[in-house]
């Protein structure tokens, strides 16, 4: 189609993208966002489904859960998209709805046919060890433009430093057999000599300890493709060992051995499996753990909500059992009564248990959430093992029917 545009999927606006070679990848990303955002019960049940399947065929790391691709799973994903489509049709009164349905159908088609052919790094998330100046941002490595003139604004550029690096996060795990690197040509071609391509799933040493796939042994002119025995990985690093080095690339393209990923990864709800406590318990039905039981059931009588007594400054806390860079918390309000209890809750995240964790960094403050509704709060990454929900300055029955926590 060649047209750029954004897609609204389950009420979430996705970043603009171009239909074409990257369509299938974007389709997977869209599904991930749908799950992550958890804007509907359907999306939430997908997360649970993946969690249950994970017992046998997937693994997780860095706040993600990754599902091994099998034909049946791909089909089930298509089923899910189909169901979401029906939900959209059934519930949306929005006049733009038909456009959304068409876009979603295109996504489904993309998953079926154009599945991940070509460069899987295109428009992927990318980060580098430092930034020389705004012309040299990391995103220029995956912008689809091989222009070798740095001044045209399509190359990266770190500061001069020890061991600079650039890391591409493919989002999913691929069996990678080829990486093409485009060097700058307006000057400084020799700088890239000695750079290593490293591939794997670890972020140890920023991913630079992952398996060495190839090394730039000579002065690289224009674009050079490095081929090697396939390596499974989500991260592709360009690592330049040495003192006082600048790392600049004008494009990095990554090609997988097969035309689909080995694993599809979606953000994992870190609160599931965590240990929850609260300042007090209203009744036997309202344990702290009910807010992380994987169910958004919002009817008090069903026993899936946590409620404290009428405490001064009540609080609830989940221990994620590890430290994550948390970027998002979703909270489900009680549905059968008491809509306003939720208002004014502070989301606090950190590693301290001083003041029961309620003095950790403030991530967001909860406003209105409709009866039985789920709101998602997004913020800059905050490192922490504990997520507190804290109501300062009043007496309240702190009531939560589900709390979901996601890292970047």
Tell me how far, at minimum, the Cβ of 303 lies from Ca ion, in Å.
9
Going by C-beta distance under 8 Å and a sequence separation of 6 or more, which residues neighbour residue 198? 207, 208, 209, 210, 211, 212, 213, 236, 237, 239
| Smallest distance from Ca ion to CB 202, Å | 26
Q: How far apart are CB 65 and Ca ion at their closest, in Å?
A: 19
Alpha helices, DSSP H, located in 113-164: none
Minimum distance from CB of 161 to Ca ion (Å)? 21
Triad 62, 29, 328: Cα angle to 5°: 50
Nearer of residues 57 and 289 to Ca ion, judged by Cβ: 289
CB of 140 to Ca ion, least distance (A): 5
The Cα 285–Cα 368 span in angstroms is: 25
From the list 183, 171, 173, the residue with the least C-alpha distance to 33 is: 171
Q: Which is nearer to Ca ion, 299 or 311 (CB)?
A: 299
Closer to Ca ion at the Cβ: 145 or 375? 145
Q: Tell me which residue has tokens 């306003």.
A: 340
Minimum gap (Å) between residue 401 Cβ and Ca ion: 5
Q: Nearer Cβ to Ca ion, position 100 or 334?
A: 334
Q: Which residues have C-beta within 8 Å of that of residue 231, sequence separation ≥ 6?
A: 175, 176, 177, 199, 200, 211, 213
Q: Which ranges of 64-222 would DSSP assign to H, the alpha helix?
A: 71-91, 97-112
Structure tokens at 266: 């979606």
Q: Which is nearer to Ca ion, 306 or 388 (CB)?
A: 306
- DSSP letter at 161 equals B
The SS3 call for residue 267 is strand
Which C-beta is closer to Ca ion: that of 54 or that of 223? 223
- Residues engaged in binding Ca ion (CB under 5 A): 140, 143, 145, 154, 250-251, 293, 295, 304, 402
């Amino acid at each position: 189609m060649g047209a750029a545009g954004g897609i609204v999927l389950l009420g979430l606006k996705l970043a603009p993208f171009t239909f074409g070679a990257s369509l299938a990848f974007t389709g997977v990303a869209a599904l991930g966002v749908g799950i992550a955002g958890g804007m509907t019960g359907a999306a939430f049940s997908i997360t649970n489904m993946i969690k249950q399947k994970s017992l046998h065929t997937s693994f997780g790391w860095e706040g993600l859960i990754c599902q091994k691709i099998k034909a049946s799973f791909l089909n089930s994903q298509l089923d899910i998209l189909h169901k979401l489509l029906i939900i959209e049709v059934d519930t949306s009164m929005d006049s733009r709805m038909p456009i959304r349905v068409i876009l979603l159908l295109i996504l489904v088609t993309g998953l079926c046919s154009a599945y991940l052919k070509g460069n899987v790094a295109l428009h992927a998330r990318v980060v580098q060890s430092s930034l020389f100046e705004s012309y040299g941002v990391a995103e220029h490595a995956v912008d689809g433009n091989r222009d070798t003139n740095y001044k045209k604004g399509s190359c990266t550029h770190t500061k001069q430093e020890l061991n600079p690096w650039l890391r591409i996060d493919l989002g999913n795990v691929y069996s990678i057999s080829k990486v093409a690197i485009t060097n700058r040509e307006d000057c400084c071609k020799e700088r890239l000599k000695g750079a290593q391509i490293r591939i794997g799933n670890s972020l140890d040493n920023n991913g630079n300890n992952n398996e060495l796939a190839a090394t730039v042994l000579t002065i690289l002119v224009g674009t050079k493709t490095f081929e090697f025995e396939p390596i499974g990985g989500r991260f592709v690093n360009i690592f330049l060992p040495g003192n006082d080095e600048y790392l600049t690339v004008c494009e990095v393209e990554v090609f997988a051995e097969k035309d689909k990923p080995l694993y599809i990864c979606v953000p994992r709800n870190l609160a599931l499996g965590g240990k929850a406590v609260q300042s007090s318990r209203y009744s036997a039905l309202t344990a702290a753990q009910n807010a992380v039981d994987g169910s958004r059931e919002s009817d008090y009588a069903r026993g899936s909500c946590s409620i404290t007594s009428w405490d001064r400054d009540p609080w609830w806390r989940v221990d994620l059992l590890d430290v994550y860079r948390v970027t998002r918390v979703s909270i489900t309000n009680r549905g059968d009564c008491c809509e306003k209890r939720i208002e004014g809750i502070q989301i606090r995240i950190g590693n301290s248990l001083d003041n029961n964790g309620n003095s950790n960094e403030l991530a967001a403050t909860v406003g209105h959430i409709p009866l039985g509704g789920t709101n998602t709060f997004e913020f800059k990454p905050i490192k922490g093992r504990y997520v507190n929900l804290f109501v300062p300055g009043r007496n309240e029955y702190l009531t939560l029917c589900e709390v979901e926590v996601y890292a970047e």
